[in-house]
C-alpha cells in the first residue's frame, strides 16, 4: 500500500461526512466492485443532490454512480491534476493561509511554471474541454470531495499520482473542511492497539517485500531460507511473477500453508492446515473509510478439521521444545481495544457490536497536519510516464472482480478460459483472427484468453479481472514482472505492458 506522505499519516475523513459535499470527483474508484458499502453511501448521497465526476480508463461499471466522466490514459492521473493546478494558479489567488501551513511551495510552483498544459494533457490523453470541466468541478461553490481509488498505487509512480491529486484537493480549499477531503485509504487497524503483537527479542530478523518475495527468497543468504510459513495469503498467485514465486517455494525444505482454499500457493506446500474463514470465527475489525471498530461473532461453525488461526498457532507453540505459550485469544482482543481512540472494553463491544473511535469526523481542520511540524508537503517531482516497450503496446489492467475477494474462489468457478476485454476501437484487434484462439503475451509468457469488447475502455488498454488460479488456466500475475513502486513498497501491477496474438 502506497502511504500518503503529504498529510503525514493515513488519517482520513469519515465517509459519512460525504453527506455535506456538493460534488465528488472519483479518481478511479470502482464502486460496484471495490466497496459495496461505500457505493451505497454514494448512491444515497446522490439522491440528496451530490454530483459525481468519475475519472478512469473506463470499463469499470461506475456509470451508475456518475453524472459525468473523463476517460484517462492509465497511470497518468498526476498529469491531469498538474494541468488543472496550473490553471488554478493562473486564475485564482493563492490562499496565504494554505501557504503558511505547507512546505516545498517554491519547488512545487516551479514544476508547474515550466510545465506546458498541452504536454500535460497529451501525456494523460485528455483534451482541453475535459480539463476545463474538471477545473470547474473543483472551482464551483460548495465542498468538493475527492475519492482516490487505491488502484492508483499499482503504478510505478502511484504515490506521485496520489500526491498530485491531494495537492489539487488542498489548493482548491477542500482539505480540512466538512464535505471535502481526500478519501484515499484509512488502514483498518488504525484505531486498534496492536503493540502487544510486536516482535520481541534481539535475534536477527529479515523482512521481504511482497512484490519481490520470490526473488528475495531465492537470493537470501546468511543463512538461506529453508522453511516458509504462509498464513492466509495466496502469495504465489497474488504477487507478481507467479511462476518465480512458485519455484522459490518448491525449492525450500519445508513449506506450510494455512488457508481455506487449495490454491496456487497451497499447491507448493508440504503441509496444508485448513483455516477458518471470517464468518466462522470471532474477531474485531476496523474499516477502510470510517472510524468504527466492530465485533464480529462467528456466524457459522467451521467444518470438519478446520481450525481458527489463533488455535493453530497456539497448538504449534505448545508442541515446540521447549513449549511457547501463546496469549489467550480473548486477552488479545481485549488488549487490541486498549487504545486512546476507543472508550470501550471487550464485553461492552460484544454487546453493542460497534463503537466509533474518538477522532474528528473531518480530518486536518485548521490545516493542521500530522507531520511533526504540522505542515503539508507539496509534491516536488513529476516524472514522465515511461513509454510502452517495443512489441508490447497494450497496458494490462488486472482489476478487481466483483464475485470474489482476491483469489478466494473455488476451482469449479474457474472452469472456463479466462476473459480479457479491449475497446471496440482497440488497434490490437486489427491484427487478430477472430476465428482463432487469442493469447495475452508479456515478456514472462503467454495466457490463453477469451477476448471480448467493452464500451468506454481506453483503446491502449486490455482489462483482466484478477484472482483466478494458474492451476485453473488463469493467474494473470504470471505475466506481470516483479518490481517496487515509488512509495510504500507496493507492486506496480498496472505498469505491465502486453500484446494480443493468435
* pLDDT tens digit sequence for 209-223: 899 999 999 999 989
Residues of the chain with CATH 3.40.228.10: 15-187+363-377
Q: Higher model confidence: residue 204 or residue 81?
A: 81
- With cell 446522490, the residue in question is 46
**Which of 7-21, 133-147, 307-321 comes out lowest in average pLDDT?**
7-21
* C-alpha cell recorded at residue 65: 454512480
> What architecture is the 394-501 domain classified under in CATH?
Beta Barrel (2.40)
CATH topology of domain 15-187+363-377: Dimethylsulfoxide Reductase; domain 2 (3.40.228)
CA separation for the pair 197, 441 (Å, rounded):
43
Residues of the chain with CATH 3.40.50.740: 195-285+292-356
Residues of the chain with CATH 2.40.40.20: 394-501
Mean pLDDT of the chain: 92
Of 147, 119, 173, the closest CA to residue 382 belongs to 119
Q: At CA 391, angle to CA 416 and CA 451, rounded to 5?
A: 20
Output DSSP code: residue 405.
B
pTM of the model: 0.94
* Whether residue 475 has a cis bond before it, omega within 30° of 0: no
* C-alpha cell recorded at residue 417: 478460459
What would the mean pLDDT of 24-43 be, rounded to a whole number?
89
State yes or no: pLDDT of 2 exceeds 50: no
* C-alpha cell recorded at residue 382: 513529476
Of 393, 381, 389, 396, the closest CA to residue 155 belongs to 396
**pLDDT tens per residue across span 404-437:** 989 999 999 998 899 999 999 999 999 899 889 9
> What architecture is the 195-285+292-356 domain classified under in CATH?
3-Layer(aba) Sandwich (3.40)
Q: Which residues of 431-463 are buried (b: 16+ CB within 10 A; e: fewer)?
A: ebeeeeebbbbbebeebebebeebebbbbbbbb
State yes or no: pLDDT of 34 exceeds 90: no
Please give the pLDDT value at position 158. Answer: 93
- With cell 494490462, the residue in question is 396
CA separation for the pair 458, 450 (Å, rounded):
19
* C-alpha cell recorded at residue 219: 537470493
Q: Which residues contact 17 (CB under 8 A, 6 or more apart)?
A: 178, 179, 181, 361, 362
State yes or no: pLDDT of 126 exceeds 80: yes
Amino acid at each position: 500500500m502506497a502511504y500518503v506522505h503529504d498529510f503525514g499519516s493515513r488519517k482520513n475523513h469519515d465517509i459519512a461526512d460525504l453527506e455535506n459535499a456538493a460534488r465528488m470527483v472519483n479518481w478511479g474508484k470502482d464502486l460496484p466492485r471495490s466497496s459495496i458499502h461505500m457505493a451505497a453511501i454514494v448512491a444515497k448521497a446522490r439522491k440528496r443532490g451530490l454530483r459525481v465526476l468519475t475519472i478512469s480508463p473506463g470499463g469499470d461499471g461506475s456509470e451508475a454512480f456518475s453524472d459525468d466522466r473523463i476517460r484517462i490514459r492509465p497511470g497518468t492521473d498526476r498529469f491531469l491534476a498538474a494541468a488543472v493546478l496550473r490553471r488554478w494558479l493562473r486564475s485564482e489567488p493563492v490562499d496565504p493561509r494554505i501557504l503558511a501551513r505547507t512546505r516545498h511551495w517554491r519547488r512545487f510552483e516551479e514544476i508547474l511554471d515550466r510545465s506546458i498544459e498541452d504536454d500535460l494533457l497529451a501525456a494523460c490523453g485528455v483534451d482541453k474541454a475535459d480539463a476545463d470541466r474538471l477545473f470547474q468541478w473543483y472551482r464551483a461553490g460548495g465542498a468538493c470531495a475527492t475519492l482516490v481509488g487505491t488502484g492508483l498505487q499499482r503504478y510505478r509512480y502511484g504515490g506521485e499520482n496520489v500526491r498530485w491529486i491531494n495537492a489539487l484537493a488542498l489548493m482548491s480549499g477542500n482539505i480540512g473542511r466538512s464535505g471535502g477531503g481526500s478519501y484515499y485509504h484509512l488502514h483498518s487497524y488504525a484505531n486498534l492497539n496492536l503493540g502487544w503483537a510486536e516482535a520481541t527479542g534481539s535475534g536477527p530478523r529479515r523482512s521481504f517485500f511482497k512484490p519481490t518475495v520470490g526473488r528475495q527468497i531465492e537470493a537470501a543468504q546468511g543463512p538461506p531460507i529453508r522453511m516458509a510459513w504462509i498464513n492466509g495469503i495466496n502469495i504465489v498467485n497474488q504477487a507478481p511473477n507467479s511462476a518465480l514465486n512458485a519455484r522459490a517455494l518448491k525449492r525450500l525444505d519445508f513449506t506450510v500453508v494455512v488457508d481455506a482454499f487449495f490454491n496456487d500457493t497451497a499447491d507448493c506446500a508440504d503441509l496444508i492446515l485448513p483455516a477458518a474463514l471470517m464468518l466462522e470465527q470471532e474477531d474485531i475489525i476496523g474499516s477502510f473509510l470510517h472510524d468504527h471498530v466492530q465485533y464480529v461473532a462467528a456466524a457459522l461453525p467451521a467444518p470438519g478439521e478446520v481450525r481458527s488461526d489463533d488455535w493453530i498457532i497456539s497448538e504449534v507453540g505448545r508442541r515446540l521444545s521447549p513449549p511457547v505459550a501463546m496469549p489467550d485469544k480473548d486477552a488479545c482482543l481485549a488488549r487490541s481495544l486498549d487504545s486512546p481512540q476507543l472508550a470501550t472494553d471487550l464485553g461492552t463491544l460484544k454487546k453493542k457490536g460497534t463503537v466509533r473511535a474518538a477522532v474528528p469526523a473531518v480530518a486536518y481542520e485548521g490545516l493542521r497536519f500530522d507531520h511533526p511540524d504540522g505542515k503539508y508537503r507539496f509534491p516536488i517531482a513529476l516524472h514522465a510516464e515511461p513509454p510502452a516497450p517495443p512489441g508490447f503496446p497494450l497496458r494490462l489492467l488486472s482489476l478487481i472482480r466483483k464475485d470474489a475477494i482476491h483469489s478466494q474462489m473455488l476451482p469449479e468457478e474457474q472452469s472456463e478460459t479466462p476473459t480479457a476485454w479491449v475497446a471496440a476501437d482497440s488497434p490490437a484487434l486489427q491484427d487478430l483472427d477472430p476465428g482463432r484462439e487469442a493469447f495475452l503475451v508479456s515478456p514472462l509468457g503467454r495466457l490463453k484468453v477469451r477476448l471480448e469488447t467493452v464500451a468506454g475502455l481506453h483503446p491502449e488498454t486490455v482489462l483482466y479481472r484478477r484472482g483466478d488460479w494458474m492451476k485453473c488456466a488463469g493467474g494473470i500475475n504470471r505475466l506481470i514482472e516483479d518490481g517496487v513502486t515509488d512509495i510504500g513498497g507496493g507492486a506496480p501491477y498496472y505498469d505491465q505492458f502486453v500484446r494480443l496474438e493468435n
